[in-house]
Structures are given as structure tokens and as C-alpha cells.
Structure 1
Amino acid sequence: MSDKKVTITQVRSMIGCTKKQKATIKALGLRRPNNKVEKPDNPCTRGQIRVVQHLVKVEEQ
């Protein structure tokens, strides 16, 4: 298992998003724009990022 992490920053508001996108943002642990979380870099996290890629910025560590 890798020790890689990704830092996910929400850069846009969830206003006008679908329920699935809002649920994904919540599952990632984000609450508001400019909020950051650090998650493990795995296929599950990458799939969640893909769903909301227009709302977040991802930085690999």
C-alpha cells in the first residue's frame, strides 16, 4: 500500500450541483470553498475526485 496523499481543495460553491455531487463533496470531508482535506491516493478517492473535478483542485504530495 502506498503512502501517497492528495490534498483536495474545494474552489467552487456547490450551488446548482446535483445531489450526487453534493454527497461526494460531503463524503470527501469538504464543507465550503477554500476548505482543504488530505486523503490517501487510491482508486476510491480518485473516483470521487473525478465526479467533482470541476469544483475542486488536487495537489499530489
Structure 2
Amino acid sequence: MIQRLHTHEHGQATAEYALVIVAAAGIALVLIAWATQSGALPRLFDAVIERVINMVPGG
């Protein structure tokens, strides 16, 4: 009986994982769209590159 109950949950767990992945992808798309439209992404990349260059001796 316990084994039978456990096997019915496999499909439910798969569906939950799929929903989590879809939700994470949706959030990522919203963040990417915001960062692209606001100009935050290029500023972030510029700041990272500038910091890396400043860390290099003679940079």
C-alpha cells in the first residue's frame, strides 16, 4: 500500500519541477527585458570590465 502511494507521486513531483523551471525562466526573461530596456546591463558590464582592468597590474 505504501509503495503504491509513493509511485503515484512521481508524476506530481515531475510536474512541480516543470512549474518551478517555467517560473524561473519567466522571472529571468522579465529581468533581462528590464535590464536591457533600462540600460542597466551595459552599465553593469562596463563596471565589471573596468574593475577587472584596474585589478590587472599596469592596467
Q: TM-score, normalised by structure 2?
A: 0.24
Which structure features the higher share of helix residues? 2
Q: TM-score, normalised by structure 1?
A: 0.23
Q: Which has the higher contact order (CA 8 A, sep 6+)?
A: 1
